[in-house]
Chains A and B, each alone.
Chain A
Amino acid sequence: MEEKLLNYIYRKRKRLFIILIFALLFYFFLPLSLIFIPEIMNKPSFLFNLPWAWVYAILQFPMTWLFCSIYHRKAKKDEQELDAIKGEDVN
């Protein structure tokens, strides 16, 4: 039982770290791009001619919601798998 649970947790953790690293990279690219490639980030964009820095900053909002919703969907599936493992233990 313990081994099954640890395997389940290992798979879950791997997915979690991938999504977390992706979310943090997406976020930290904002300050890093402003520091290292300001000439690109200051160029006018398609969005009312505002600099690209605005587009990337505003994009953080839908991306945060998207990451949360992906995580929630995965977590729901994980919980079903966990219930199945627990069910096996009871039986």
Chain B
Amino acid sequence: MNPTYFLLLIYIIVCTLIITYWAAKHSGTTKQYYIASGTLTGYQNGMAISGDFISAASFLGVVGMIALRGYDGFLYSIGFLVSYNVVLFLVSEPVHRLGKFSLGDVVCSRFPGQKMRLIMAICTFIISLLYMIPQLVASGFLLRLLLDLNYSVSVLLIGTIMTIYVVVGGMIATSWVQIIKTVLLMSGTFLLTLIVLSNFNWDLTLFLNKVEEGTPLGEQFFLPGHLFNIPIEFLSLQLSLVLGTAGLPHILMRLFTVRNTYEVRKSLISATWIIGLFYFMTLILGFGTVALLGYEALIAKDPTGNLAAPLLAKVVGGDFLLAFVSAVAFTTIVAVVSGLAISATIAFSHDIFFHILKKGKTTEREQVRSARITAFIIGLLSTLFALRLESINVTSLVSMTFTVAASSVFPVLVLTIYWKRFTSVGAITAIVSGILASFIFVVLGPYVMNPSDGLFKTEAIFSLYNPGIVTIPIGFLGGILGSLLSKRIKQKETDFNSFYIKAQSGYSSRGES
């Protein structure tokens, strides 16, 4: 490995471990360990949300996709960004007011009961693991390409560091790792963007002409349709992207780490600015790759296009900039998997261990201890899975995560918060039907059934790669039918009006506002 790469990597690891050591001293209670005592400011939380959300797939994948496919590659970014409107308007403030540590708290504030809590915990667990494993697998490939490390060594390195952050430092360490990642990512991307534009003397017409020359698509490069040529597929993907974020537990849990709804809104607005500016810069980097490196040179090095940003960095800034971009990619991966690990940890230790196994009767110390043990086991298991699943289709799992989140957690949250006639049976049927439909349609779809590279070498029964357009309505329909058909069953439920007032205003008749 190049010594510059090695030194930068060690520097970042040492800095973040020092923060973790400091965080460990402030993570003695569940409130500190799970939600950093709600002490983050809106801006800090906005940076942490961006750090949690912008994965290596965004940083490296979107730049590559724009370089290879032009306009259609850029459409992913827009879906990701606009999804924050849905989070802010529909769920953010009620989730903050109703929950304490987990999504289980939110739904159980209307439908109390162990069964409901267990189902929400399992759902959070499934979504977090579904997202974490492909991130770890992708990290193995990326570090192999960027830093010339063996796949297993890369996965072990990322898995170990993630486990240390979460076990030792809990939410405080995770948040600060994510904030540092955002600062590094934004400054690295900004620097690279400036260098790219300066290469064309800030002349955008010249820049765009060079892009046309660098791609075999010529002027067609700027026209839509080089990736999504089936309209329904395109619409389905956009639907999953725009609704999926409002169902991702690791993003929603960040709404508990600030003290009030004003800070919640500030968090999400800062996140949209950071994420928007970031994706805007990836557009320039994608174009820059084609203009300065050329399509053929990119394809020769990596046919997936994932190495577009690092290769561009090498062309415009030499080895040092490449080392910096690689270090940023490393921090990006670690920050995202840490966020996922802590959300899975809270689901298990708070919802299952504390509420179900211990029936709410255990000491703070024991809860934090169990959370640390859970975090260790989750870190270990996900790393082992990632080591074994080297050949798994990463894109299919990431796409499935957004589909599952948009088809299960999102309908349950929206119906719980806004629909008076929703029942606990409806909540369970919404989750079960959303998750089952997502799994079934992905398995029957071309990611799994494909004559060339599918798990089953046969024609797909369901033609869409992204089944959100079918599974999201199934999730909602499951909830609505389950509620209407279970009206006569006696169910444990809090009075809707007082629940609704608390969700929308934070005011409780028992004075807990």
Chain B proximity of A46: nearest CB distance (Å): 13
Whether B222 contacts A68 by the Cβ 8 Å rule is no
Which single member of B90, B224, B242, B262 contacts A51 (CB below 8 Å)? B224
Q: Which A residues are CB-close (under 8 A) to B497?
A: 2, 6
Across the A-B interface, give the 4 residue pairs with the lowest CB-CB distance, nearest first.
A35-B231, A9-B504, A20-B89, A27-B82
Check: B201 CB closer than 8 A to any chain A CB.
no
Which single member of B90, B265, B507 contacts A86 (CB below 8 Å)? B507
CA distance A41 to B204 in the complex (A): 21
Whether B238 contacts A28 by the Cβ 8 Å rule is yes
Check: B223 CB closer than 8 A to any chain A CB.
yes
Whether A19 contacts B89 by the Cβ 8 Å rule is yes
Whether A72 contacts B269 by the Cβ 8 Å rule is yes
Say whether, besides A9-B504, A27-B242, A67 and B85 are in contact (CB < 8 Å): yes
We find that the number of chain A residues with CB closer than 8 angstroms to chain B is 43
Whether B90 contacts A50 by the Cβ 8 Å rule is no
Residues of B within 8 A of A (CB): 71, 74-75, 78, 81-82, 84-86, 88-90, 93, 204-205, 208, 222-225, 231, 234-235, 238, 242, 261-262, 265-266, 268-269, 272-273, 276, 279-280, 497-498, 500-501, 504-505, 507, 509, 513
CA distance A72 to B208 in the complex (A): 37
Which single member of A9, A19, A35, A72 contacts B500 (CB below 8 Å)? A9
Q: Which B residues are CB-close (under 8 A) to A28?
A: 238
Whether A68 contacts B224 by the Cβ 8 Å rule is no
Whether B85 contacts A31 by the Cβ 8 Å rule is no
Which single member of B75, B90, B272, B507 contacts A20 (CB below 8 Å)? B90
Chain B proximity of A20: nearest CB distance (Å): 5
Residues 1-24 of chain A, each 1 if its beta carbon lies under 8 Å from chain B, else 0: 010011011001100100110011
Whether A82 contacts B507 by the Cβ 8 Å rule is yes
CA distance A55 to B505 in the complex (A): 39
Whether A79 contacts B262 by the Cβ 8 Å rule is yes
CA distance A7 to B106 in the complex (A): 23
Whether B280 contacts A23 by the Cβ 8 Å rule is no
Q: Of A20, A30, A60, A68, which is in contact with the most chain B CB atoms at under 10 Å from its CB? A: A68
Say whether, besides A27-B242, A75-B265, A79-B262, A68 and B505 are in contact (CB < 8 Å): no
Say whether, besides A53-B71, A57-B71, A65-B276, A48 and B205 are in contact (CB < 8 Å): yes
Which single member of A9, A31, A54, A71 contacts B234 (CB below 8 Å)? A31
Majority secondary structure of chain B interface residues (helix, strand, loop or mixed): helix
Chain B proximity of A47: nearest CB distance (Å): 9
Q: Which A residues are CB-close (under 8 A) to B268?
A: 68
CA distance A30 to B76 in the complex (A): 12
Check: A84 CB closer than 8 A to any chain B CB.
no
Check: A76 CB closer than 8 A to any chain B CB.
yes
Say whether, besides A48-B204, A50-B222, A53-B224, A64 and B501 are in contact (CB < 8 Å): no
Whether B85 contacts A79 by the Cβ 8 Å rule is no
Chain B proximity of A53: nearest CB distance (Å): 5
Q: Which A residues are CB-close (under 8 A) to B262?
A: 76, 79
Whether A31 contacts B238 by the Cβ 8 Å rule is yes
Across the interface, name the chain A residue whose C-beta is closest to B235: A31
Whether B501 contacts A5 by the Cβ 8 Å rule is yes
Whether B222 contacts A30 by the Cβ 8 Å rule is no
Whether A12 contacts B223 by the Cβ 8 Å rule is no
CA distance A5 to B88 in the complex (A): 21
Whether A68 contacts B204 by the Cβ 8 Å rule is no
Say whether, besides A57-B71, A57-B75, A68-B269, A51 and B504 are in contact (CB < 8 Å): no
Q: Which A residues are CB-close (under 8 A) to B82?
A: 23, 27, 60, 64
Whether B78 contacts A57 by the Cβ 8 Å rule is yes
Q: Which A residues are CB-close (under 8 A) to B205?
A: 48
Which single member of A19, A34, A71, A86 contacts B224 (CB below 8 Å)? A34
CA distance A56 to B23 in the complex (A): 44
Q: Which B residues are CB-close (under 8 A) to A16?
A: 89-90
Across the interface, name the chain B residue whose C-beta is closest to A19: B89
Chain B proximity of A8: nearest CB distance (Å): 7
Q: Which B residues are CB-close (under 8 A) to A2?
A: 497-498, 501, 509
Whether B71 contacts A54 by the Cβ 8 Å rule is yes
CA distance A4 to B75 in the complex (A): 44
Say whether, besides A68-B85, A79-B261, A12 and B504 are in contact (CB < 8 Å): yes
Whether A57 contacts B74 by the Cβ 8 Å rule is yes
Whether B81 contacts A60 by the Cβ 8 Å rule is yes
Q: Which A residues are CB-close (under 8 A) to B222?
A: 50-51, 54
Say whether, besides A20-B85, A42-B224, A64-B272, A72 and B234 are in contact (CB < 8 Å): no
Residues 65-90 of chain A, each 1 if its beta carbon lies under 8 Å from chain B, else 0: 10111011001100100100010000
Q: Which A residues are CB-close (under 8 A) to B208?
A: 48, 50
CA distance A36 to B513 in the complex (A): 49
Across the interface, name the chain A residue whose C-beta is closest to B280: A61
Whether B234 contacts A34 by the Cβ 8 Å rule is yes
CA distance A28 to B504 in the complex (A): 27
Whether A35 contacts B89 by the Cβ 8 Å rule is no
Whether A61 contacts B223 by the Cβ 8 Å rule is no
Can you spell out 18 A-B residue pairs with CB atoms less than 8 angstroms apart? A20-B90, A23-B82, A30-B75, A31-B234, A31-B238, A34-B225, A34-B234, A38-B225, A41-B224, A48-B208, A50-B222, A51-B224, A53-B71, A61-B279, A64-B85, A68-B272, A72-B265, A86-B513
